Structure formats: C-alpha cells, structure tokens
A = this chain, B = another copy of it.
Amino acid sequence: MKKYTRETAVRLQHTDAAGILFFANLIVLAHEVYEQFMEEIGFGFDGIIRTGEYLIPIVHAEADYKRMLRTGERAIIDMHVSRIGRSSYALDYTIRTPDGASVGKCRTVHVTTDVTTNRKIPLPENLRAALTPYLQES
C-alpha cells in the first residue's frame, strides 16, 4: 500500500484573528494534497472538468483538530485511499508537524456523477485502477 505525502505551510491568508489556522483551511490544505495526487495519477481536475464526462463531487468531509498551527508553520500531510466502492471512494489524511506532533486528521468522500443528469455513475475503471495502489482499508 502506498501513501501520498506532501509538506505544506500555513500562510497568513489561512490564519484568523485568533492567531491560528482557520479551522476550515485544514480541510482546504488537505484537499490541495488530493489535487496534487490526482494530477500525478493522471486525473488532474482541469482535465476532468474540461473533458466533461463526469464530475467527482464531495459528499462528505470531516476533520478532527488536535493542535493549532501558526503562520509559517509547516505541516506534513499523509493521504491514502481508505475505501473504494462502486461509485465512490474515501480519502483519509493525517496531518502532523515536521517534528511529529499530531495536528489532526481529515476524511473526504467522493462520488462520481454524470455531468448532465447529476446521478451517480460507476467509478471509471481507469480511475479505480489508479486509486487502488493507495488503498488501505482501516
């Protein structure tokens, strides 16, 4: 099983007046890692959107927060695929500081849908194949 790991940094725009990362931006940073992952496995969002065959909307997202992050702090995000279903998949992210302190975790659930009908469609086989090496069911 492969996981996908990227380091990111908290920028001023991600923080709020409480002095720390605005909570929703942890999910945004996790999603940026997902985007990079999709590009690397050949499913960049721009191509998916412009091809117009299907979309992959998020139907569920959640995050747990353990430690606050300040401006300029680095965060390492590990992502893996935690479930692959008939027309959906789930991604799990764990976020830590470079010295290993747990920052939190996220999960997002994605469904493939027909662009015109908005209905669920089976996961395209090439997308399923590209995700499978990163699958670790928990």
CB–CB A13/B22 < 8 A: yes
A35:B12 contact, CB within 8 angstroms: yes
Tell whether, in the assembled complex, residue B70 and residue A46 are in contact, meaning their CB atoms are under 8 Å apart.
yes
Interface size class of A (residues with CB under 8 A): 35 or more
Chain B nearest CB from A118 CB (Å) reads 8
Stretch from A25-33, A89-97, A128-136 contacting the other chain: A25-33
A24-B31, A28-B24, A63-B60 given as contacts; is B13 within 8 A of A49 (CB)? Answer: no
Q: A22–B46 Cα gap in the complex (Å)?
A: 15
Q: A65 CA to B118 CA in the complex, in Å?
A: 13
A45 and B63 contact, CB distance less than 8 A: no
Determine if B46 and A72 form an interchain contact, defined as CB atoms under 8 angstroms apart.
Answer: yes
Question: What residues of B have a CB within 8 angstroms of the CB of A108 in the complex?
Answer: 23
Output the least CB separation between A88 and chain B (Å). Answer: 12
Binding site for B on A (CB under 8 A): 9, 11-13, 15-20, 22-25, 27-28, 31-32, 35-36, 39, 44-46, 49, 55, 57-65, 68, 70-73, 108, 118
Q: Could you list 21 examples of A-B contacts with CB < 8 Å? A: A12-B35, A12-B45, A15-B17, A16-B16, A18-B49, A18-B55, A23-B31, A23-B58, A23-B108, A24-B24, A24-B25, A24-B28, A35-B71, A46-B70, A59-B64, A59-B65, A60-B62, A60-B63, A60-B64, A61-B65, A62-B62
